[in-house]
Amino acid sequence: MLIYDISKLHLPILSSLFEGLHKPVISIGKSVNGSPLWAIEISDKPGLKEAEPAFKFIGNVHGDEPVGREVLMQLAYWLCDNYLKDPLATLIVENTHLHILPSMNPDGFALRRRGNANNVDLNRDFPDQFFPNNDDIKQRQPETRAIMNWIKQEHFTASASLHG
């Protein structure tokens, strides 16, 4: 299994790897320490709003759980490498918009710990309908705010957060 450290990859490299299958890799925000939160859109018509489901995948919410990050990078590479070669990859790319954020917590990953650079568990930093003790968006971590803003911009049909 190949392991890719997306925090060490630069935008032009990522763009060339996924050329033709997505709009350029974008940063949806920055971490506490200023690392970009890279998101990849994989689609046959990137950047366009279509009557197709849009799926959001997030990995590495906890810095000490890198498995989701690696799985999502492998998914992106597999789809791009196999588009128009493999019927399943082609079906997925042509009928969905995949939005992949391999690492929500690049600072925690770099520090090899669960929390971000402020040692906050990002999984617990989102609004909770049953416990509204964290309703002030200004008190949330920058990574959490970036995800919340991203959700407002894109209307995702479904989402998954990979932990491991």
> Tens digits of per-residue pLDDT, 46-85?
888 889 999 999 999 999 999 999 999 999 999 988 999 9
Burial of 29-68, coded b for 16+ CB within 10 Å and e otherwise, reads bebbeebbbbbbbbbbebeeeeeeebbbbbbbbbbebbeb
Please, what is the angle between helix 67-82 and helix 87-95, to 10°?
100
**Lowest pLDDT segment from 37-51, 111-125, 137-151:** 37-51
Cβ atoms of 56 and 156 within 8 Å: the answer is yes
Q: What pLDDT score does 25 carry?
A: 82
Q: What pLDDT score does 145 carry?
A: 96
**Lowest pLDDT segment from 41-45, 142-146, 148-152:** 41-45
Is the pLDDT at 21 greater than 80, yes or no? no
Q: What pLDDT score does 141 carry?
A: 97
Domains contained in the chain, CATH given: 6-162 (3.40.630.10)
Is the pLDDT at 39 greater than 60, yes or no? yes
pLDDT for 79-135, tens place per residue? Answer: 988 999 999 999 999 999 999 999 999 999 999 999 999 999 999 999 887 877 667
Higher pLDDT pick, 66 / 12: 66
Q: What pLDDT score does 138 carry?
A: 83
Q: What pLDDT score does 24 carry?
A: 57
